[in-house]
Structures are given as C-alpha cells and as structure tokens.
Amino acid sequence: MSTINYKVMSSNGLLNKYNNKGLTGLCNLGNTCYINACMQILSHCYEFNEILENININNDEKSLLLYEWKQLKDLMWTTNCVISPNRFIRAIQHMAQVKKRELFTGYAQNDLPEFLIFLFDCFHEGIERKVDINIVGTSKNTIDEVAKKCYVMIKNNYSNSYSEILQLFFGIHVSLIISNTKENKIYSITPESFSIINLPIPRDANNSKTYTIYDCFDLYTSDEVLENENAWFNEATHKKESVKKCIKFWSLPTILIVDFKRFDNNNRKLNNIIETPLCGVDFGNYELGYNKTNCIYELFGICNHSGGVQGGHYTSYVKNANQKWYSYNDTTVTEISEASLISAKAYSYCYRKV
C-alpha cells in the first residue's frame, strides 16, 4: 500500500507559513458555536492543511464538504478577520440530509464529538480510493497475532476506500478477552478503527476532584471481569468461563482527539478538572503496537462547554504556530495564558504526535 507521510512540526519553514495567522473569528449562525469551536481547532491541524494543498478535491456532491472546508480554511488563514461561514454550514446541512443524519440538518446545537465523527467520515469519503494492501510476515508471538488481526481488519475495511484522513485522524483499538488466570491467555482479539476516544471520568462523591488525563485512560483501559451470570461462553469448550475484558490500542493517530463523558446517567454534569501536560504527553503505556515508543504528544487544542445537557455554549483554545494560545469565542479571538487553559469546562482535548 502506498502512503503519504506529512510531518510539519519539525519544519520551521512550514510552521512559519502559519505564524500569527488563523486568528479569524466565525459568526454564530444560530447555535453553531459547536461547529465554530471544532473548525478553529481543525484549521490548526497543519498536517491536514498540507494534505489539502497536495491533493485534488472534486467539486461534486461526494466531496462537497471537504471542498467547502478548504475554501473556508483558506479564507480563515488569508487575513485575520471575522467570517460568516454560511456556505460551509449549508454544505453540512446538505450532506446531513444525503446521509440521513437529521441532527445536523438544521441550526440546533449538537454533540461536539458526534459532529466530528460525521465530519471525518464525510472528509474521508470525499477523497477515498482503492489501494493494494498486502500483509506479509509470519506470526511468531502474541503481539504478531494482534498485528495480523489489525492488518486484516484494515485490508477488509479500507482496500476499496483508503484516504489520508485515516492516516491522520484514525487509530485502532483492540477489544481483548483474556483468561482470568495467571496465564492471561488471550481468547479473543477484536480490532476496530476509531477517530475519537470517549473517556470516562473517575467518580467521586462531589464530582469535584481533580484527575489527570492518565487517570481517565487508566479507567478506559482497565480490566472488566466477566463472571457468574455474565461469564463468557467459550465456543471451543462449550462452557462459560470467568474472563477479563479490556480495551487496548494497537495504534494511536497523528492527531489524537479525546472527549470526556461530562454527563452521568442522570444528565448531571461532572465538573472535575482533568489535568494534562501541555507537552511530552506519553501514551505509550496504553499501546500494544510495534511503535509504542513513539507515543509522545503535545496538546494544541481544547474545546470547552459551559451549560447543561440541553444546551450551553462551546468555545475553543488553540495553540498558534507562534507558540501562543488563543481563545476562540465565535467572532472574538483573544490571547490566553497557559495558566488559564485547564478548567472544568474542558470537554475535549486535541493532541498532536511530536
């Protein structure tokens, strides 16, 4: 399979290209603040911008959303101003109708991660193509078996629909069923691609304790014991067995987006602060793959949400190429200190692999 690799963070020339630009506000066209917050962060994915500069995007229905995004992104980075993104919003609504995603056909506020998943799927389909994917080598250990399962999944799902969007924004997580014994025998390996990780927040009595991003990842990847009436049925032995179920990551994407489960089953908002390093964020402990030593990230974007489950307001904090952070609140763009970045309003963190 032929792939295209883009690495801009090590190139001063490319970073200078974006320096002090992209400080453009976006008009709220009626509860579209969640879209604005997403777009401000997405426009600072320089790797994605470079991809868009190096591929041909057709102006047809399948590529409509990606085409309109490139037009809007180019305007946002031409000069620092305020833009009303009418055409892009109409393109979202049109593609939502085509795909029967009623949530995004109007101007109602919607869930930010669900919108991003819809957006990435549209972008991917806009430039997907057939590729040859060959799997070579012989499995010699458990990690090789997991690798083979992952590669087969990629080949089955994406041989006829590959794009650079997968390479940049998508990773692979693996659901494992493991014996509840000292041997930790793996019974089942189920890989699946993902674009956003929906992280749980550890529970405390007042929903006010401060946790770290690692606490949330630890909880997400922790073992769940299946026993008694929930025991796992072993098809090989035709018996139910006590097992452990867990999720690990085979690979993490270049642009890693996590969102937090800020609302419990009673729609009560969890106001815990989730601390994260701004740079040198190491997720290697959560990856099984061959490149687990290459899992160092830096934070470059934060989506914030104020309000309740029925509504509220979205804003974003984004790190510019000039190494300064800016607050984007629809049409208002202001510089913000690093000390003010992390708060209980943080709904999503966006990281870049370094």
Q: Which two tokens stand for residue 310?
A: 């029925």
What's the pLDDT at 205? Answer: 72
At 150, phi and psi to the nearest 5?
Answer: -65, -45
Does a structural domain hold residue 7?
Answer: no
What length does the chain have?
354
The domain total for the chain is 1
4 belongs to a structural domain: no
Would you state the pLDDT for residue 13? 58
Q: Rounded to two decimals, what is the model's pTM?
A: 0.92
Q: Which residue has the tokens 């952070």?
A: 325
Kindly state the tokens that stand for 301. Answer: 């974007």
Amino acid at 136: V
Residue among 55, 176, 72, 180 at smallest CA distance from 126: 55
List, for residues 95-150, the tens digit of each pLDDT value: 999 999 988 988 877 888 999 999 999 999 999 999 999 999 888 998 999 999 99
The band of 6, judged by pLDDT with boundaries at 50, 70 and 90, is very low
At residue 237 the predicted structure's pLDDT band, cuts being 50, 70 and 90, is confident
Q: Quick one: which of 177, 154, 157, 166 has its CA closest to 225?
A: 177
CATH assignment of the domain containing 250: 3.90.70.10
Here the tokens at position 14 are: 């490319």
Vertex 38, ends 338 and 314: CA angle to 5°? 70
Q: What separation in angstroms does the CA of 196 have from each of 42, 119, 172? A: 14, 12, 11
The answer to the question of residue 131 being in a domain is: yes
% of residues, the chain, pLDDT over 90: 72
Q: How far apart are CA 79 and CA 57, in angstroms?
A: 23
pLDDT: is 53 or 274 the higher one?
A: 274
Residue type, 87: R
Q: What pLDDT is attached to residue 181?
A: 86
Query: Under DSSP, is residue 208 helix (H, G, I), strand (E, B) or coil?
Result: coil
Q: Per the domain annotation, does 1 fall within a domain?
A: no
H or E segment and range at residue 188: strand 186-194
Nearest to 32 by CA among 103, 117, 99: 103
Cβ count within 10 A of residue 324: 14
Q: Which of 8, 33, 4 is nearest to 19 (CA)?
A: 8
Average pLDDT, the chain: 91
Within-domain flag for 182: yes
User: How far is the C-alpha of 172 from the C-alpha of 179, rounded, in Å?
Assistant: 23
Coil/strand/helix, residue 250 = strand
**Residue 6 in domain:** no
Q: Can you give the pLDDT at residue 14? A: 64
Quickly state the pLDDT bin for 3 (edges 50, 70, 90).
very low
In the beta sheet, which residues pair with residue 197? 258
Does 280 fall in a domain?
yes
Whether 76 contacts 351, CB under 8 Å:
no
Instruction: Please state the rounded mean pLDDT for residues 244-258.
Output: 96
pLDDT tens digits, 48-96: 999 999 888 888 899 999 999 999 999 999 989 999 999 999 999 999 9
What token pair was written down for 205? Answer: 């009595």
Q: How many CA atoms lie within 13 A of 136 on its CB side?
A: 4
- pLDDT band of residue 206 (cuts 50, 70, 90) is confident
Q: Is the residue at 2 inside a domain?
A: no
| Higher local confidence (pLDDT), 235 or 23 | 23
Helix 86-98 vs helix 33-42: angle between axes, to the nearest 10 degrees? 100
Phi first, then psi: give them for residue 81, nearest 5 degrees.
Answer: -155, -160
**What confidence score (pLDDT) does residue 107 get?**
81
pLDDT value at residue 192 = 97
Containing structural domain, residue 32: 12-353
